[in-house]
Structure 1
Amino acid sequence: MATNAKTRKAARYAVPVAVAGVAAATVAMVPAFANSGSPDLPKVTAQQLIEKVAASDVQQLSGSAKISTDLGLPALASGLLGGGGIAGGSANPEDKIAQLANGTHTVRVAADGPDRQKLTFVDGKDEYSLIHNGADVWGYDSKANEVWHEKDTEGAAQGKDQQGKDHKKTADRRGGASPQQLAQDILKAAGPTTDVSVGDTAQVAGRDAYQLVLKPKHGGSTVGSVKIAVDAKNGVPLRVQLLAAEGGKPIVDAGFTKVDFAKPSADTFAFTAPKGAKVSEGSDHAPGGRGKEFKGLESFPGLDALTGGAGLDGGKGGETKVLGEGWSTIARIDTGAGKSLKDIENDKNAPKEAKQFLDSLGGKVTGKFGEGRVFKTRLVNALITDDGKVYVGAVTKDALVKAADANK
């Protein structure tokens, strides 16, 4: 039961809206856009560059970054994720991070060790700030004049007990994992299905950098490569680009436009709720252990109607199976839907949200599994079969159909 629960939780993050997690992770490591120029640097091997990242211990920095995300989402899903700016609406950071799955955003960042980080998303004259200062975490939406607050007593105690040496858990809980740790996680996750090499040198935010290139060894993935620009002096990842196998501009292109590794002033992380602001208290222990993250396709009422209330996580009694490995991983989710796609398509009394959702999907596909429809983005694709199963992953439509045929 425990293993099945873990598998279901992992699959939940694999649904199309989970591409927001890609954007969130990229912002968390605050990487950046490259400037022109290819500096002449000493030759290094991929292993040496990985070791350089692992050995980096930079915990203090400040600067500006941009993140640009082009997932090729259908108009309906794009609207659900918030095509507008970051500012406005709830001050809960989970609501804001989901919006990073669409468009281009400017970010100011500051960090001083495991207990103090600040991210400010700038949308014109409006701003949204996420501040971690010791035992307090604050989210502030200037446009809505709303404040979100949470006590980080676990993180503060851990920082004190471990004297700053073991702060990954605290940082991850805040969505602000260090650049070093996140880069190591990416490399670890790559595993044996990945070719790792050193690409051309680059300049990022005026700093010389090597580029580590990760490519899937086998076909079928929507990902062409991942490029991580690494500071030639201190080993800090400065930029991440996620490139599509189909070509075109990057799916995600994020990184520093300006960076300084000096210690930020203490008042950078100070925050007091403005007079008249609405303040709400957050909690790490939301029902189901998932809070409100990824409020998009999964919570769309059309999908709820389509799957008989089961959603993409299988609902009550739903089953999830992980197929394949590495870049070709596919989650097979049995939603237990009471109606087929055809039933809903032909039902005059079906909820309009369900039919809107069907219209937002791509063309129909057929195979040994039967019939279905494909929800397509440039990164994550999902095949929803007529009998209520969902196959989803960062793989091509053909790979999904092949998986459905083999696991019908």
Structure 2
Amino acid sequence: MAPYESDDNTNEDLRTGRRKAARYVVPVAVLGVAAATIGLVPAFAGSGDPDLPDITAQQLIEKIAASDVQQLSGTVKISTDLGLPNLGGLESSLGGGVGGREESGSSADPSSKLLELASGTHTLRVASDGEDKQKLSLLDKAAEYSVIHNGDEVWAYDSASNEAYHMKDSSGAAEKGTKGKSEDVPTTPKELADEVLKAADDTTSVTVDGTAQVAGRDAYKLLIKPKASGSTVGAISIAVDSKTGLPLKFTLTPASGGAAVIDAGFTKVDFSKPAASTFDFSPPKGTKVTEGDEAKAEGRTDRAQPKGGEDLGKEFQGLDVIGEGWSSIAQFDTGGEGMPSESSGAGDAGRFLDSLGDHVTGKFGSGTVFSTRLVNALITDDGKVYAGAVTKDALVKAANAAK
């Protein structure tokens, strides 16, 4: 099927967010598990491309928006390659680090899996039966980590350590996520697709790019690309189930080429009602159980909470956004000195930090650009930061213009 370019109304619908807030596969209580950079294996397509009726980009976006799949089970493979070292062992080496054991006293706390999903390849089993019953299991060799939401009960269990984390959902915790930030942390093809479509605007090209088979299902491929140069994002491909409208696969490729930065997709999916026993859980004998309410009362869970507006404002003075769409750059002032560098007289420490990034100069002065395959950040010697999914040259240009 030939690609079909979106019309003006498509971008308007994207901006106004014409999406149905459907409850999806993964329990929202587990969304704290995923990293903000999301660690969600390529090549899930079957043999041959299915012959499906023609559809426009506008119609396909509406199909995604109307999707309301609430009962299913399946297996998702997720992979991320930001060009960073594997972070799985970093957490333990830091004594818990971000959202780890130090935070709540339990390795089963969903936030303790944050860094684990930030890199590498992982297999997830997911199941959902409406708004009140969801389960996600992260499979890792002989061990398994699960989060189960059943009615007003939310359990997380880590078989490797035989620890469980329990909380009540009487205050709507499952809808808000364990940390109250579920909507900010997409973890599935559906949620990733929603975030991209919600953020799309006139700087975006949206086309239908043929068909594919994913997990044995016929699907349309929605292709989303930046219209202008300068972004590190090459393209985003979303495979959409032709019958249900559910996104089955999400792939983000960088402008620099090579393997996908983020690739998440079903390898198996079944839209029948899961067995009720899927969502049953009782801690095995000898399990160490941590109550979420008790951990919060002791002040342990508050350590990893995002800072409030006032506190954030003190640390990042004058937060601003330069440009628009895919080429937008966040700019803020740390209010202090920049990163130590060899040129600033920092000696061995400066040489080490310089080795991690690229030293750059311009009208703004000098600084260091730290890069991944998707997000780059320029930290100037006088403490200003420019960051975005843009090239190094774009960051330097922005810093020069701001000067």
Relative to the length of structure 2, the TM-score reads 0.77
1:53 CA drift (Å): 1.0
Q: How far apart, CA to CA, are the structure 2 residues paired with 1:269 and 1:62?
A: 12
Contact persistence 1:314–1:336 (CA under 8 A): no
The aligned length equals: 354
Amino acid at match of 1:372: G
Gaps of 5+ in 1: 1-18, 160-166, 295-310
The answer as to 2:376 corresponding to 1:366 is: no
The answer as to 2:281 corresponding to 1:271 is: yes
Match of 2:75 in 1: 64
Amino acid at match of 1:137: V
Q: How far apart, CA to CA, are the structure 1 residues paired with 2:174 and 2:141?
A: 37
Residues 311-357 of structure 1, C-alpha deviation per residue, up to 9 Å, x if partnerless?
A: 9x675463321222221121112112246624896346x9x6x875x
What does 1:194-343 correspond to in 2, within 5 Å?
Answer: 194-282=204-292, 292=304, 316=315, 318-338=317-337, 341-342=340-341
The answer as to 2:370 corresponding to 1:405 is: no
Would the alpha carbon gap of residues 176 and 333 (structure 1) be closer, same or farther in structure 2, given more than 3 Å must change?
A: closer
**Structure 1 stretch displaced more, 32-41 or 139-148:** 32-41
Match of 2:157 in 1: 140
Match of 1:93 in 2: 110
1:174 CA drift (Å): 10
Task: Indicate which of 178, 195, 201 corresponds to 1:191.
Answer: 201
Q: How far apart, CA to CA, are the structure 1 residues paired with 2:153 and 2:351?
A: 44
- Report the structure, 1 or 2, having the larger helix content: 1
The answer as to 2:142 corresponding to 1:114 is: no
Match of 2:11 in 1: none
Q: How far apart, CA to CA, are the structure 1 residues paired with 2:175 and 2:91?
A: 34
Would the alpha carbon gap of residues 272 and 225 (structure 1) be closer, same or farther in structure 2, given more than 3 Å must change?
A: same
Contact persistence 2:189–2:249 (CA under 8 A): no
Q: How far apart, CA to CA, are the structure 1 residues paired with 2:35 and 2:355?
A: 19
1:156 CA drift (Å): 7.6
Would the alpha carbon gap of residues 105 and 77 (structure 1) be closer, same or farther in structure 2, given more than 3 Å must change?
A: closer
Q: How far apart, CA to CA, are the structure 1 residues paired with 2:57 and 2:313?
A: 41
Q: How far apart, CA to CA, are the structure 2 residues paired with 1:94 and 1:48?
A: 37
Q: How far apart, CA to CA, are the structure 1 residues paired with 2:146 and 2:377?
A: 33
Residues 224-275 of structure 1, C-alpha deviation per residue, up to 9 Å, x if partnerless?
A: 0111100011111000000100110111111100000001111111111222
1:157 CA drift (Å): 10
Match of 1:21 in 2: 36
Contact persistence 2:75–2:123 (CA under 8 A): yes
Contact persistence 2:87–2:119 (CA under 8 A): no
Amino acid at match of 2:35: A
Q: How far apart, CA to CA, are the structure 2 residues paired with 1:125 and 1:138?
A: 20
1:372 CA drift (Å): 0.7
Amino acid at match of 2:360: V
Gaps of 5+ in 2: 1-33, 94-99
Q: How far apart, CA to CA, are the structure 2 residues paired with 1:140 and 1:360?
A: 40
Amino acid at match of 1:148: Y
Secondary structure of 1:235's partner? Answer: coil
1:59 CA drift (Å): 0.6
Contact persistence 1:171–1:178 (CA under 8 A): no
1:276 CA drift (Å): 2.0
Contact persistence 1:64–1:109 (CA under 8 A): yes
Would the alpha carbon gap of residues 174 and 259 (structure 1) be closer, same or farther in structure 2, given more than 3 Å must change?
A: farther
Would the alpha carbon gap of residues 256 and 181 (structure 1) be closer, same or farther in structure 2, given more than 3 Å must change?
A: closer
Would the alpha carbon gap of residues 289 and 93 (structure 1) be closer, same or farther in structure 2, given more than 3 Å must change?
A: closer
Match of 2:377 in 1: 382
Match of 1:39 in 2: 50
Task: Indicate which of 30, 45, 66 corresponds to 1:55.
Answer: 66
Residues 154-192 of structure 1, C-alpha deviation per residue, up to 9 Å, x if partnerless?
A: 328989xxxxxxx9x999369678865653442121122
